[in-house]
């Protein structure tokens, strides 16, 4: 396990030694990539996209276990694992490392019988924020975004033609009495607003 923690220690060291490296700086992007690379013996191919203050690294062929390793070291603030509409195994979580807010999404595509091992994909959004209060706000917003994205994705899988009463019963079964009641209240208030 110590060897697993080494990449994280290196990232912390980089952040401490480079206080001015912002989210969009090439050295921070490289440091985050090196952090992920530290868990894996294969050389990653990556692409990078910058969205406002948030940088995103996308890695194809990331391996199946990397999400578990990252999750083990990063202690997520929120984390979800589920099978998506294309039957891929998806793990998504938000974590904090020093002044970084990380949003991780790992996808293991569905592999049919007699098909080659699927190529897993890993995407990490990250944002560096020095101000403690802004940092906490950004972390909270990242968790909220994650909650919304996962909810929307899951709810979209419910077939549209399915009778409302049937879905309602399934929701009540799945999420229990107290939660169902809370949801019903939320739905009623949303209905009034809409």
Partner 1 sequence: MKIAIDNFRAFLATNPAAVTGTAALAEAVKSLFQGFQAFPFEGIDVDASHSDLTIVGVSRRLPDYRLEDEVKPYGKHVSFDSDGDEITDMIFAIEDVVFNASFSAPGYSDDGDIQLDVHFERIDDAAERRKRLAALMEEVVGLVADRVLQSIPSTLPPAVLAQALIKKFGPVEGHEFAQSVLAAQDKIETPIHA
- Residue 82 lies near partner 1 (rule: CB under 8 A): yes
- 179/71 Cα distance (integer angstroms): 27
With contacts defined by CB under 8 A, name the span among 9-17, 22-30, 35-43, 170-178 that binds partner 1. Answer: 170-178
- Residue 141 lies near partner 1 (rule: CB under 8 A): no
Pick between residue 15 and residue 180 the one whose CB is nearest to partner 1.
180
Taking the complex as a whole, how short is the minimal distance between the CB of residue 55 and partner 1, in angstroms?
26
Q: Within its chain, how far is the Cα of 39 from the centroid? A: 17
- Residue 44, classified by CB atoms within 10 Å of its CB into exposed (0-12), middle (13-18) or buried (19+), is middle
Which residues, in sequence order, are CB contacts of 117 under 8 Å at separation 6+? 111
- Residue 148 lies near partner 1 (rule: CB under 8 A): yes
Pick between residue 136 and residue 166 the one whose CB is nearest to partner 1.
166
Taking the complex as a whole, how short is the minimal distance between the CB of residue 160 and partner 1, in angstroms?
8
Taking the complex as a whole, how short is the minimal distance between the CB of residue 93 and partner 1, in angstroms?
11
- Residue 134 lies near partner 1 (rule: CB under 8 A): no
- Residue 119 lies near partner 1 (rule: CB under 8 A): no
Sheet order of strands, 100-108 included: 45-51, 54-60, 121-128, 100-108, 89-97, 78-83
Q: Label the pairing between strands 45-51 and 89-97.
A: unpaired
The helix (run of H) or strand (run of E) holding residue 26 is helix 26-37
Q: 102 near 96, Cβ under 8 Å? A: yes
Of 1, 17, 43, 113, which one interacts with partner 1 (CB under 8 A)? 113
- Residue 170 lies near partner 1 (rule: CB under 8 A): yes
- Residue 163 lies near partner 1 (rule: CB under 8 A): yes
List interacting residues with partner 1 (CB under 8 A): 80-83, 85, 87, 89, 110-114, 144, 147-148, 150-152, 154-160, 162-188, 190-191, 194
């Amino acid at each position: 396990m110590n060897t697993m923690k080494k990449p994280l220690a290196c990232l912390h060291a980089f952040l401490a030694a480079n206080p001015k490296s912002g989210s969009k700086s090439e050295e921070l992007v490289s440091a985050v990539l090196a952090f992920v690379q530290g868990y894996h013996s294969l050389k990653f191919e990556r692409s990078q996209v910058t969205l406002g203050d948030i940088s995103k690294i996308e890695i194809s062929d990331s391996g199946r276990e990397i999400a578990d390793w990252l999750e083990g070291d990063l202690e997520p603030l929120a984390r979800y694992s589920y099978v998506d509409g294309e039957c891929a195994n998806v793990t998504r979580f938000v974590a904090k490392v020093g002044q970084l807010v990380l949003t991780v999404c790992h996808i293991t595509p569905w592999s049919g019988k007699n098909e080659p091992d699927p190529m897993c994909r890993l995407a990490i959004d990250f944002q560096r924020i020095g101000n403690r209060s802004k940092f906490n706000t950004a972390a909270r917003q990242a968790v909220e975004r994650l909650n919304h994205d996962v909810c929307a994705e899951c709810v979209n899988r419910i077939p549209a033609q399915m009778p409302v009463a049937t879905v309602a019963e399934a929701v009540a079964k799945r999420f229990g009495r107290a939660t169902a009641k809370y949801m019903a209240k939320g739905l009623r208030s949303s209905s009034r607003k809409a």
